[in-house]
Amino acid sequence: MEDLNEMQQLPVEDATRTTETAGSEELQNATNSNDAPSSETVSDGQPELSAAEPEAAPVAEPQPEPVSAEAAVATGEQPNATDETTPQADEEPEADYSAMGREELLATFNELMQQPIAQVRNRASTIRNQFNMLNKEVERQAFETFLAEGGNKEDYNPTNDAVAEAFYAAYDQYRARRQKMQEEMEAQKQRNLEAKQQILDELRTLIDRDDETLKQTYDEFNAIQEKWKGIGEVPREQMNDLWQNYHFLIEQFFNKVKINKELRMLDLKRNLEQKIQLCERAEELMVETSVVKAFKALQGLRAQWKEIGPVPAEQNEETWQRFNKAASQIDERRREYYDQRKDELEQNLLAKQALIDKAAEQTRELPQTAKQWNDTTEALDELLKLWKSIGPVPREQNEEVWGKFKGIIDKHYADKKSYFAQLRDEQGENYNKKVDLCLRAEAIAKREDWKNATEELLKLQEEWKSIGSAGYKQGDKVWKRFRRACDEFFSKKGEYYKNLRSSESENLALKNAILDEMKAYQFGDDKEENLSAIKGFQRRWAEIGHVPKSAKERVMGEYRSLLDGIFEKLKISAREAEETSYRERVRSHAGDAKRFVSSEKQELSDKIEKLRADLKLWENNLGFFASSRQADLLKEEFEKKMNAARQQIALLQAKLRILDEEEEKSE
């Protein structure tokens, strides 16, 4: 303490001069010894240790040493401005998102947000850029669709879909969290500034105090240094002034307290132990499997090395070489890793270019059938799986190669969508046509006019063959319906003809019986009763079905001959007979009276109109005949034709009245 008191009595200038005189050479050597290994920038842009001068021999007085990153400002070195809470780019694992769609990017981004914000900055930015690129393509397609549907370019109002809304909402949350983290960091720096300013006050108090032993003062000084080292970064604008004040007070402390050689040696020994520990930790990093983790940890060890003071001169070179050797090997591993990584990226690029060529070959010609489209899609899906299994390519070519590959696949799917849309339209039209055939076939299946119905059904089958596919599911369903209607008709027809032979013999016997009755029947003088009897025979005859072909002409001829004889015998006019026969014919269609009456009325009306037109024409033509024998003959001929037409019109009108009567009965 005597030395301390003596120094305190000296003016500041004398005290400074005393310090410089007492140990100027030792001070210079000690200061140089603090220029320990530092990070330099090598040609490949990565930090690397550079060899430093060996430390000088220990001196009697300890000299100021860089305690934190700010120390570099006072010593003329560049302060270490690395934000310890902000990870560097190569601290994050590399990730390739080029093969992901927007939904995959959204899911990956949400998973990434479960990690600390400081560890995902680069990946979050990469995902955002990739998503923006894909979303621009979606917006472009939406705009083209709007124009294709007749929209006006000036009226287009772009909007995000659900995927884009979800992604940008998630990214806004990420930015808010990142902003909050940065604000917290700045607040922490401000608290660190206040803590370090308080340490400066403690140093001033320690320098001004003289009531303790030298050992106790030095211990407190070391404690203050440790507290200073334990405090993190401060705002950058305060860094230089803060360190200059700290360095000045350190100088003042050493000017006031002359530490003896023994205490200095203890300090050097302590520094040696700390640097040996750093050497051991650097050597452990040599076997670390992750090159990125090893290099990051090495940067931390380098920063700690710079903050540790000098070691005994005899161990200085050995310790430094040991640390530098381990650091150099880690640096070399990192260079090799990035060289190898570069080769892998180039190989991946060649592989992906080959997949682009293969995809272009697969889609060079448009498929012509649904199977060909599906086969091409399956082949492209396999290529996409291969693409995803290949690692990333050089960053500057990533967007280009992915854009080419994705463009081929997108075009294929757009063409496929257009093809299948057209195919669905055709199949829908074919389905409707086949449903219509089913309805017609089902109507025919209920009929029993076997010949006409069979011909119509066979025509429907030919028409069915000419219609294209209606799709697998719908086509099979409608085919079974059509087949069921056809089977129903032909089954009924087969059953009918199976029983026809036995019924024809019975019908022949019934008609022979009617012929015998007609021969034996005694007609009276009452015309109405006679007509009624004849109508009864005709009705019963019409109700009997077919007879064997071998007897058909015989019985029909005998039936007509008997009727003609009866009409001749009873003096019944042909018109009366015709009306009677027609009335029986109408009654024979009682099962479908409405349809038959409607059809017959239309046919009779058409015939009447035609006969009336002929009459009008003939009447006009008679006026052109001159008076002569030849003309008179022609007039007579025309008169006969006109009378026959009038009689025919009267008969047709009588038939119309019969139809009207039948229509009133049916109502």
Both 139 and 46 in a single domain? no
173-232 per-position pLDDT tens digit:
999 989 998 888 889 998 999 998 899 998 888 888 766 666 777 788 889 888 898 888
Distance CA 217, CA 253 (A): 10
Both 74 and 95 in a single domain? no
Distance CA 402, CA 393 (A): 10
- The alpha carbon torsion through 563, 566, 569, 575 (nearest 10 deg) reads -60
460-498 per-position pLDDT tens digit:
888 888 887 877 778 888 898 888 889 988 888 777 766
Asked whether residue 304 carries a pLDDT value surpassing 50, the answer given is yes
Both 216 and 79 in a single domain? yes
DSSP symbols for 46-87: -EEE---PPPPPP-SS------STTHHHHHTSPP----TTS-
Q: What pLDDT, on a 0 to 100 scale, did the predictor assign at position 667?
A: 61
Q: What pLDDT, on a 0 to 100 scale, did the predictor assign at position 132?
A: 94
- 137-146 mean pLDDT: 88
Both 261 and 237 in a single domain? yes
Distance CA 296, CA 88 (A): 9
Mean pLDDT of the chain: 76
Domain that holds residue 51: 2-86+206-322
Any domain includes 68? yes
Any domain includes 334? no
Residue with more model confidence, 169 or 69 = 169
SS3 259: coil
Distance CA 221, CA 231 (A): 16
Residue with more model confidence, 403 or 217 = 403
321-365 per-position pLDDT tens digit:
988 988 998 898 888 888 888 888 888 888 888 989 988 888 888
Any domain includes 59? yes
Both 315 and 251 in a single domain? yes
Residue with more model confidence, 293 or 29 = 293
581-640 per-position pLDDT tens digit:
667 667 666 666 677 777 887 888 888 888 888 888 877 777 666 555 566 677 777 777
Note the helical H segments in 257-369: 261-285, 291-307, 313-362
Both 49 and 125 in a single domain? no
Both 143 and 82 in a single domain? no
Highest mean pLDDT among 367-371, 400-404, 524-528: 400-404
Last residue of a domain, one of 322, 344, 373: 322
Report the DSSP pairing between strands 39-41 and 47-49: antiparallel
Distance CA 391, CA 388 (A): 7
Q: What pLDDT, on a 0 to 100 scale, did the predictor assign at position 262?
A: 64
Cβ partners under 8 Å of residue 424, min gap 6: 471
- 453-459 mean pLDDT: 87
Any domain includes 259? yes
Distance CA 294, CA 102 (A): 34
Both 79 and 214 in a single domain? yes
Written as six digits, the tokens of 383 are 């290529």
Both 78 and 226 in a single domain? yes
Work out the percent of the chain whose per-residue pLDDT is above 70: 78
- 440-452 mean pLDDT: 84
Asked whether residue 31 carries a pLDDT value surpassing 80, the answer given is no
> For the packed helices 291-307 and 313-362, what is the interaxial angle rounded to 10 degrees?
150
Last residue of a domain, one of 159, 179, 197: 159
13-26 per-position pLDDT tens digit:
333 333 333 333 33
Any domain includes 11? yes
Asked whether residue 74 carries a pLDDT value surpassing 60, the answer given is no
- 30-40 mean pLDDT: 33
Both 311 and 215 in a single domain? yes
Q: In the chain, how many domains are there?
A: 3
Q: What pLDDT, on a 0 to 100 scale, did the predictor assign at position 155?
A: 81
Distance CA 229, CA 215 (A): 21
Q: What pLDDT, on a 0 to 100 scale, did the predictor assign at position 5?
A: 34
Q: What pLDDT, on a 0 to 100 scale, did the predictor assign at position 345?
A: 86
Any domain includes 462? no
Read off the amino acid at residue 72. A
500-513 per-position pLDDT tens digit:
666 777 888 888 88
Read off the amino acid at residue 207. I
Q: What is the pTM of this model?
A: 0.35
Place 3 in a pLDDT band, splitting at 50, 70 and 90.
very low
DSSP symbols for 105-148: HHHHHHHHTTS-GGGSHHHHHHHHHHHHHHHHHHHHHHHHHHHH
Q: How many CB atoms lie within 10 A of CB 246?
A: 24
Any domain includes 125? yes
551-586 per-position pLDDT tens digit:
888 888 888 888 778 777 766 555 666 666 667 667
Q: Which H helix or E strand runs over 43?
A: none
Both 231 and 306 in a single domain? yes
Last residue of a domain, one of 130, 159, 188: 159
Cβ partners under 8 Å of residue 585, min gap 6: 542
Any domain includes 109? yes
Both 600 and 650 in a single domain? yes
CB 47 within 8 Å of CB 41:
yes
Q: What pLDDT, on a 0 to 100 scale, did the predictor assign at position 110?
A: 92
Asked whether residue 37 carries a pLDDT value surpassing 50, the answer given is no
DSSP symbols for 11-33: -HHHHHHHHHHHHHHHHHHHHHH
409-433 per-position pLDDT tens digit:
898 899 888 888 887 888 888 888 8
